[in-house]
Structure 1
Amino acid sequence: MNVVQAVKMYITKMTEESGPGMKVILMDKETTSIVSMVFSQSEILQKEVYLFERIDSHAKWDNLKHMKCIVFVRPTSENIALLSRELRCPKYGVYFIYFSNVVSKADIKTLAECDEQETVREVQEVFADYLAVDRHLFSFNIIGCLHGRSWNQQHLQRCSQGLLALLLSLKRRPVIRYEAGSEVSARLADRVRELVRREAVLMDNNIPFNGDVPPPQLLILDRRDDPVTPLLSQWTYQAMVHELLTINNNRVSLAHVPDVHKDFKEVVLSAEQDEFYAKNLYSNFGEIGQTMKSLMDEFQKKAKSHQKVESIADMKNFVETYPLFKKMSGTVTKHITVVGELSSCVARRHLMEVSELEQELVCHSDHGKQQQRLKAMLANESLRAEDVTRLVALYGLRYEKHAGNVLPALVDTLRKRAPDCAALPVLLLEYGGAHARQSDLFGLQDADKITKRLFRGLSGVENIYTQHTPLLKDTLEDLIKGKLRENLYPICGGDDLSAGRRPQDVIVFIVGGATYEESLCVRQINQANPGVRVVLGGTNIHNSTSFLEEVKSAMQGVHRTHTRHIRNI
C-alpha cells in the first residue's frame, strides 16, 4: 500500500499511452498539485512532456497542432465546461483525456457532442484523486471542513470521492469503521459506503477477491478526539520544518531568511527526489546536526579531489562526475539553509523552554507547579504570543475538569498581551473539549492507560521534548490486535463477522486533519508489525497554525454552549 507508487503509476500510464512525440499536459489547480507531489519537472520532461498548461488559464498559443494534449483533471462541472470549450476550438492536434475519478455518462456525452473535429483519442478514469504526501500518507489539502459539528457539504463530497479513488488505486475493498461519538465520522463513513456500493461493478473489475485474507479496514476518526497532537512543538526534521517554516505541497519558502541565495528562496523537500531528506525526515533535531556535519565533510572531501585537475584523465573524470557533484552541492546548501533557519527559530522563540512545558502539561498532572510556570511564561515578553497561546490552550484542555482551573484568569492575562489570540484557547475548548471527545485523551479514567503512563515514567523518557505519543498509536495498536471496541468504533452498515479478525491492511482517515507526528507513529507501527500495512490520511496535514485556523473556521458564528462561563470572548 504505497500511495506515491499508486499515483506515479497512473501518471506514467498517461504519458506512455499517448505514444511518442511532443506532448502538453493540461491540468486543473488540484491535479497540478497531485502531479507535482510525485514527479519533478525534469522527470516529466523525460516523458516528452514539454508544456504544462492550466485548463482555467487563458494563454494564447498559436499553431500547436503538432502537439498531443494529455488532459488530467478532476471530473467537476467547472472542468467539464472548460474542457467542452477547449474541444469546440481545439488548440492541439489530438487529446487524451484522463479524469482523476469516476465521471458520469452524461458528462462523457456532453464532451462527445463538443468534439466536432474528432480530436479526442481516449477518455479514461484514473484514480489519482488525492495528494500523495509520503508512501504511507495522503491529504486533500482542505482547511475548514466543518461548520460547528457538521460537514461543509462540498468538503464532504470531496473527501468521500477522494477516499473512493484511494480504495480503487490501492485495490482494496475495506470494512468501513468510524468513531461512534462523532457525527461527522459517521456521515463520511455512510457516504463512502454508498459510493462503494454504487460503483460495485468498478470495484469488482479493479479489486481481486481474496477470501483467505482478513478484509482491509478503513477507519474514520475525528480530529476533535485528539486536539492536543497538532498543538505541540515538533523535534523530528520533517515535522519541525512544517511547524516552523510550513511545507506546502513539498515546497518550503525561505524568502524571509536574511541573505538567502536566490536559488534557495523556495526549496523542494521530497523524499522521492532527495535522498538526504528521505533518510533523515524522521531524525530528531540533535541527530540532524550530526548528519549535516557528516554530509559537509563528505562534500568537502569531494570538492578537494576536484581541485586538482591536471591531466586529460582528471578533466574527463571531473566532467563525468560534475552533475553528481553539482547535485550534492545543491543538496548540502539546501539542507544547511533549512537546518540553519530551524536552529534560529528554536533559539529566537525559546522553543526548548516552551516545548518542555507543553510536554509536562500533556503527559503529567501537576496543576500547581504547571500553573505557576505558565503564568511566568505569559509574563515573559521574549516569548511569542502564538507560543504562549498554545500553552494556555493545552492547559485549558488538560485541566478542563480540575477544581482549581484558572483558565478564565489566564485568558484575561493573554488578552492584555495579545488581544487577537485571546479567543483561541476558548474556541479550542468548545471545539475539542471533553464534551466532544469519546476517548480518555489524558488517561485519567482508563486503568490500562494509567498503568502504561506509569511504566513509561518508571522506565525513564529518552527525551523530555518527545514524551507525548498521539492517541492514534493506542487506537491503531488495538485495531491491529483485533481489540478495537466495536461499540466505540462500529462497522458502517451493520455487522460483519470478519471485522473481528486482525486486519493486515488499514487505512486511517482523520476528519479535521492529520499531523506529521502521527505519520511518524504510523511508520513505527508498520516497522514493528511485519505483514501489517497502515496508510494515514487527513483532510489536511496540520501544523499548529493551520490547526488553529481549522478550529476558528469550524467555530465561526457557532453559539458557545460549553464555555459560556469564560466571558468577554
Structure 2
Amino acid sequence: MLNFNVPPVKNNTGEPVWKVLIYDRFGQDIISPLLSVKELRDMGITLHLLLHSDRDAIPDVPAVYFVMPTEENIDRMCQDLRNQLYESYYLNFISAISRSKLEDIANAAIGANAVTQVAKVFDQYLNFITLEDDMFILCNQNKELVSYRAINRPDITDTEMETIMDTIVDSLFCFFVTLGAIPIIRCSRGTAAEMVAVKLDKKLRENLRDARNSLFTGDTLGAGQFSFQRPLLVLVDRNIDLATPLHHTWTYQALVHDVL
C-alpha cells in the first residue's frame, strides 16, 4: 500500500518515491503497532497526517490515503480533491467502499477536473489491529461499540445489536481475506457468538459464489479453498463461563494461553 500497491523491488538501493500518508483514527490505530516513524521514512513517507486535521497544500507530492469509507471521510476526501491539495491520490479503504460512495468520489473528481490525479482506488480489507504475529484485536476508536458491555446491555435494541454484529463480522471477514483462508467455524448455540458465526458464514459464501470477484481465489488463497489445512475459528461467548476469567489474568490472550 505504501508503495502505491506495487510489490517492492528486492535489492533496490535507489531512493523511494517521497509521499504523504493521510489516515483517519482507524488507520492510525492499525498502522501504529506495525510501523515506526523510521520505517515509514524508509518507505518514503515524509509526512503522516490525520485526514481531518488542518493540512496545507503540497501540490508536487503524491498522497496515500488510508481511511474507513465513512460518509464524513468521503466528504473530506472530496474536499481535498476540490482544493487540489496533492499531485496525485492513492485511495486505500480499510473496509470495502460501497458503490454509491465511490460514485461520490468520482463526481467530486470530475467537478474538480482531477480525474487523472486519482491514480488508484483499493479496498485493503484491514479492519483489524495486529498487536503480535499471532494476535489481533477488533477494538478501534469505537471500542465501546463492540465491547462485552455493549452486547449485554439490558436496553439494547435489535438495530443496535445488528450494528454490533455487522461490525464484528466485517473485521473477521477482513482478517480472513488478509490471511487468504476460509475458516471452519465453530460456536456455541443460542448466543451472540452464533449470530456472528451465521453472519460470517453467509458473507463468506456470498463472496465465494461470485467466482469472478471472489477474494478467496487465485493468489489470495494460499493452499486453496478445498485444502484440508483450513484454519479453525472458535467463537466463544464469555457469558457461558464468567467464572473462568476470574481464575486467570483478565485478558483474552492470557486466558487462551492458560486454558488452551
TM-score normalised over the length of structure 1: 0.38
Give the Å deviation of 1:230: 4.2
Matched, 1:81 2:75: yes
The AA in structure 2 aligned to 1:56 is: H
Give the Å deviation of 1:203: 2.6
Secondary structure of the equivalent of 1:38?
coil
1:24–1:229: structure 2 CA closer, same or farther, 3 Å change rule? farther
The AA in structure 2 aligned to 1:197 is: R
Tell me which residue corresponds to 1:203: 216
For the 8 Å contact 1:229–1:517, the answer to whether it is kept is: no
Give the Å deviation of 1:192: 1.1
Tell me which residue corresponds to 1:101: 95
Cα shift readout 1:168-203 (whole Å, capped 9, x = no counterpart): 000111222211141x11111122122213322223
Alignment of 1:222-371 (within 5 A): 222-231=237-246, 234=249
**Seq. identity, %:** 19
Tell me which residue corresponds to 2:34: 38
Counterparts of 2:65 and 2:73 in 1: how far apart (Å)? 11
Tell me which residue corresponds to 1:72: 66
Counterparts of 2:241 and 2:31 in 1: how far apart (Å)? 31
The AA in structure 1 aligned to 2:207 is: E
User: Paired residue for 2:45, among 39, 42, 49?
Assistant: 49
For the 8 Å contact 2:66–2:91, the answer to whether it is kept is: yes
The structure where helix makes up a greater share of residues is 1
Tell me which residue corresponds to 2:85: 91
User: Paired residue for 1:191, among 185, 199, 203?
Assistant: 199
Counterparts of 2:163 and 2:71 in 1: how far apart (Å)? 13
Matched, 1:177 2:191: no
Counterparts of 2:190 and 2:24 in 1: how far apart (Å)? 37
The AA in structure 1 aligned to 2:221 is: I
- Total equivalences in the alignment: 232
Tell me which residue corresponds to 1:297: none
Give the Å deviation of 1:54: 1.1
Counterparts of 1:11 and 1:136 in 2: how far apart (Å)? 23
Counterparts of 1:70 and 1:91 in 2: how far apart (Å)? 12
Give the Å deviation of 1:21: 2.6
Cα shift readout 1:197-237 (whole Å, capped 9, x = no counterpart): 33222233432525352533222111212323544574xxx
Counterparts of 2:127 and 2:238 in 1: how far apart (Å)? 22
For the 8 Å contact 1:28–1:74, the answer to whether it is kept is: yes
Structure 2, unpaired ranges of 5+: 9-14, 209-213
1:519–1:76: structure 2 CA closer, same or farther, 3 Å change rule? farther
1:175–1:212: structure 2 CA closer, same or farther, 3 Å change rule? closer
Matched, 1:61 2:56: yes
Give the Å deviation of 1:123: 0.5
User: Paired residue for 1:167, among 159, 170, 176?
Assistant: 176
1:212–1:188: structure 2 CA closer, same or farther, 3 Å change rule? closer
For the 8 Å contact 2:93–2:123, the answer to whether it is kept is: yes
For the 8 Å contact 1:96–1:122, the answer to whether it is kept is: yes
Counterparts of 2:258 and 2:232 in 1: how far apart (Å)? 18
Matched, 1:148 2:156: no
Counterparts of 1:14 and 1:129 in 2: how far apart (Å)? 17
Secondary structure of the equivalent of 1:162?
helix
For the 8 Å contact 2:248–2:255, the answer to whether it is kept is: no
Cα shift readout 1:58-100 (whole Å, capped 9, x = no counterpart): x1414x0121100011222332222222222231111111111
Tell me which residue corresponds to 1:518: 255
Tell me which residue corresponds to 1:483: none
The AA in structure 2 aligned to 1:61 is: D
For the 8 Å contact 1:25–1:51, the answer to whether it is kept is: yes
The AA in structure 2 aligned to 1:148 is: R
For the 8 Å contact 1:177–1:219, the answer to whether it is kept is: yes
Counterparts of 2:256 and 2:87 in 1: how far apart (Å)? 44
Secondary structure of the equivalent of 1:133?
strand
Secondary structure of the equivalent of 1:186?
helix
Higher radius of gyration, 1 or 2: 1
The AA in structure 1 aligned to 2:164 is: H
The AA in structure 1 aligned to 2:36 is: S
Counterparts of 2:127 and 2:202 in 1: how far apart (Å)? 18
Counterparts of 1:79 and 1:56 in 2: how far apart (Å)? 8
Secondary structure of the equivalent of 2:127?
coil
